Structure 1
Amino acid sequence: MIIKRLFSSSFRTQLMINNQWVNSSSGKTFKTINPSTEEVITEVQYGTPADINKAVDAARKAFDGPWRQVTAVQRSELLYKLADLIEKNKEELAQMETLDNGKPITDSREVDLPSVISVYKYYAGFTDKIFGKTIPMNGPFFTYTRLEPKGVVGQIIPWNFPLLMQAWKLAPALAAGCTIVLKPAEQTPLTSLRVGELIIEAGFPPGVVNIVPGYGNTGASLAVHPKVDKIAFTGSTEVGMEIIRNSGIHGLRRVSLELGGKSPNIILDDADLELAVSQSHNGIFFNQGQNCDAGSRLFVQEGIYNDFISRAVQCAKDRKLGDPFDPTTIQGPQVDENQMMKILNYIDIGKKEGAKILTGGKRWGKKGYFVEPTIFTDVTDNMTIAKEEIFGPVLSVLKFKTIDEVIERANNSNYGLSAGVVTNDMEKALKIVNGLRTGTVCVNCYAVTTEGTPFGGYKQSGVGRELGEDGIMNYLETKTVVVKASTDTLP
């Protein structure tokens, strides 16, 4: 009943293969849960390896056939049309995202959907700007390069930003001329399937985009499929490493990975205190802390440490949790029970290892997967909560003295995805920026990402970059062409 009440169109709960909606070959389904009420929303068809095989065959046939004949301008028109359809249906998509994921409706409407539309439009404008170079050579040769699509791409997306991560994957791959088999997260398949309907409505040819929901075994069968040319994955570092290990099975696949983080957020003594508190608060608690680039390690210089802590604790206490469809709610539930229990377990570990909780630390409410905004102090670098990605609303605050010290400590991590610095001294800021081994550093802001800025990490935070020109290069191969010619025919 809740589906009919919230949406004018029916949910698509089948697999999308070759522009057709089909049931799983096994007949199995899985439940998707509303994380704020713990109620079943609907059941979705469970894709099997046999279904992945059908989807890959459809993508291969499209890539080798009609899709290769579609011009760059025509690809652009299709992407713009898809962006327009998403914009036309943005309220439905926002509500569906909040229902399935639990994020506040205000975030879905005002953050996620505008970003999704911008990403599709950005790459729609990129299709006719993919070109190679001419290269001077010693001798009678005319040499140039071509940028060509990689081919069939398997894409596996996470549950924290289902619509946005789908756009980050689909838009550049389609702009490059690839065909796709997309596996959405089992916790949040609904908006991916709805966008699948819009892809068909926009006029993309059969087989260009295929969507196969399922669990880890579904994604694993996609990652090792012999007819897949590239795998693009966003998710945990553990799964990413498994994909790398398996990338040579049945032939060598190209791989790009956007993985975990334990990002340092550094507050200097001279910082604007109000800005520092606001920046660090949003840096960890936005999206229920379910951000790969969350500023979960907060380094505060000793001169303002006490004043900062008192303000940060009050800010966390004032954060409103509750029904994500209430427009005044700032924090919704975690995505599912497993994630909630993982976070609560990390909180217990933090207490046992000697860290001090100043606020939060418990489940909130009697129904739904809510966790209180939690702040730990007396945290040391060797504690579990300072080293491992929690992926929840849990902040570890660490004190430091000097800039050289904080750079060394910030870099002492297996991860290197993002970082932040708050200071009024740009010389100090740039010293920290240059010293950090991380993919993004924001100064006097945090986690600011747009469609044109490359995003990705050092070390165990991933391989490659998404967004911007780097994002489309993920899906292109460079071909060098050398033509022997007489000297009087050379350009």
Structure 2
Amino acid sequence: MSTTIFPISYKGDFINGRFVPVTKGDGEVKNLSPADLNDLIMTVPFKHDHMDEACVAAKKAYPKWATLSMDERRSYLLRLKEMFDTHAEQFAQIISRDTGKPAWEAMTEAKALGAKIDITLNQSTKLVADERIPNALPQVDGVIRHRSRGVMAVVGPFNFPAHLPNGHIIPALIVGNTVVFKPSEQTPAVGQFMAEMFEKAQFPPGVFNMVQGDGAGGGRLVANEHVDGVLFTGSYEVGLKIKQETLNHYWKILALEMGGKNATVVWEDADMDKAVYESLVGAYMTAGQRCSCTSRIIVHPKIADEFTERFYQAAKKLSIGHWTENTFMGPLITSASVEKYIRFQEIANRENCESLMRGKSLDLKNKGYYVTPSIHLVKKFDPNSVYQKSEIFGPNVAIYTTGDWNHAMEIVNSTGYGLVMALFSKNKELYEDALFKARVGLLNWNRTTNGASSRLPFGGMGKSGNDRASAHYAIQYCTVPVASLEDPTPFDPTKILPGMNLDMK
């Protein structure tokens, strides 16, 4: 990948098919790269009224878009895929600058955008295909159809600022919804570039809209009367606020993906090389800023010393640095994230966990929000421990030791979150037992917790979501199932119900 920096200039919010700059706004975001605080990507003013204007535009565009055939909408999305694919290098660089993630990782995200369109068009649409049921009632056929909902608000996260909102936007559009997208205020350049791709793909005005904003702007969007659904990826706390903002809006569907405190169980018969490598990837990729990251590792005592030592030695050698340097780990997203990460080092120590590897701020040649990975050994499982149950969203992992399988499962289920569990063992019976006992939406066998397939559902239990699995299943919450009974037979006067005296002439 070239390190030639592509120019980025502020264009405005994308409303009704054109960019509308904010001149007199409600505030602004200085978009500094977390990888280099001297890299001011752009200054982004925002205006809360634009949320309302975008919702009106989406509402107005909806009837015409929804009544196009699936094939007609497909042609627009294929054009968008072409834009994504031909601009992947530029997209990846903007992702790296906005998030700090290494170039190789950002390119993986950029390439996933077009792939999501392929998977949605070729596979996920089958989940909402029309189905005819002969004799659903005697001599009456039934038909199941899926119709669009209306205007969908997509609220994006910073950690996958293109791929995760794209995972909502594409299924919403293909079935006939219109979209208002609010990017994270941490990654406004990615949001703007996504809107540029829609502009280049020449979607009808109002079908896709992008409005920048802060938390208050997000609140304004989800509470808008024209919004029929809110599709969100982010923290439990923000997901809860969205739920509260829309409590009286009974007509709105909410698809909330809200984080995790994920556990990996490494049993005595595990492939040690694989368990160590996969767990490092799970714990420290994206600097631990994934909802599916490995936060806890539960190790069988027979292999605990070897696993822990090898994991520790490898973690010490992980390269950390600027996105152009092909490192494994970039920075955290903000100074507040660094403060939280450092604070949890102290909380872990205070709650009687041993610090095997201390997380601290790093002073590198590029001034950014860099930290070192950390490991804590949990001496005693405590379901009420703040450290043991909180999502830190940084490169920290807690290591537990137990030889009691049921106790391991108790630890897995103890945090209130329920996104992913991973099991490293050759014993299929343990895996099948975990499938029953683990309260998670994803369970991986001999593979780490992070990295999911768009061909599968993605969603969790408990505090990890509200039972609206995304990825392959996202297309389902973007539609309403409509049931029809179709009776082609003429009226039969011999079948009039008792007690009815119709004057049939």
* Structure 2 match to 1:478: 481
Q: Is the aligned partner of 1:199 residue 2:203?
A: no
CA–CA distance in 1 between the matches of 2:129 and 2:420?
A: 31
Matches for 1:84-233 after TM superposition, within 5 Å: 84-109=82-107, 111-125=108-122, 129=126, 130-135=128-133, 136-233=135-232
With over 3 angstroms needed to count, the CA separation of the structure-2 counterparts of 1:127 and 1:487, relative to structure 1, is farther
Q: Contact (CA 8 Å) 1:336, 1:369: kept in 2 or not?
A: yes
Correspondence list, 1:210-359, <5 A: 210-250=209-249, 252-327=251-326, 329-359=327-357
Contact persistence 1:419–1:440 (CA under 8 A): yes
Q: Which consecutive residues of structure 1, in runs of 5 or more, have no partner in the other structure?
A: none
CA distance in 2, matches of 1:422, 1:53: 49
Return the TM-score normalized by structure 2: 0.91
Out of 454, 459, 482, the position equivalent to 1:456 is: 459
| Post-superposition offset of 1:365 | 1.4
| Deviation at residue 486 of structure 1 after TM alignment | 1.5
The alignment yields a C-alpha RMSD, in angstroms, of 1.9
Matched, 1:371 2:366: no
- State the AA in 2 paired with 1:157: G
Match for 2:441 among 439, 442, 445? 439
Residue by residue over 1:195-223, the C-alpha shift from the partner in whole angstroms, topping out at 9 and shown as x without a partner, is: 21111111211101100111100110111
Partner SS, residue 296 of structure 1: strand
Report the secondary structure of 1:363's partner residue. Answer: coil
Q: Structure 1, residues 421-449: CA drift from partner, whole Å, max 9, x if none?
A: 00122222222232211000111112241
CA shift for structure 1 position 41:
1.9
Q: Which runs of 5+ in 2 are unaligned?
A: 493-505
C-alpha spacing 1:249/1:422, structure 2 compared with 1 (3 Å): same
Larger Rg: 2
Name the SS of the counterpart of 1:370 in structure 2. Answer: coil
Look up the equivalent residue of 1:334 and give its one-letter code.
L
Question: Do the aligned partners of 2:389 and 2:414 also contact (CA within 8 Å) in 1?
Answer: no
Question: What residue is the counterpart of 1:465 in the other structure?
Answer: 469
The answer to which of 55-64 and 167-176 deviates more is: 167-176
Q: Counterpart amino acid of 1:103?
A: K
Q: Structure 1-normalised TM-score?
A: 0.94
Measured in 2, the distance between the counterparts of 1:226 and 1:365 equals 48
Kindly provide the amino acid, as one letter, of the partner of residue 113 in structure 2. Answer: V
CA separation in 2, counterparts of 1:160 and 1:127? 24
CA distance in 2, matches of 1:334, 1:176: 36
Q: Separation in 2 of the partners of 1:267 and 1:5? A: 43
Where 1:162 maps in the other structure, the secondary structure is coil
Deviation, structure 1 residue 250:
4.9
Cα deviation digits, residues 356-379 of structure 1 (max 9, x gap): 111232111152101101011134
Shift of 1:251: 5.0
In structure 2, the residue corresponding to 1:115 is in which secondary structure? helix
- Compared with structure 1, are the counterparts of its residues 250 and 419 closer, same or farther at alpha carbon in structure 2 (3 Å cutoff)? closer
CA contact (8 A) 1:155 1:181 kept: yes
Identity of aligned residues (%): 28
Letter in 1 for 2:474: G
Q: Return the alpha-carbon distance in structure 2 between the equivalents of residues 232 and 314 of structure 1.
A: 41
CA-CA distance at 1:88 after TM superposition: 0.7
Distance 1:121 1:320, change over 3 A: same
The secondary structure found in structure 2 opposite 1:433 is helix
User: Tell me, what secondary structure is at the counterpart of 1:38?
Assistant: strand
SS at match of 2:264: strand
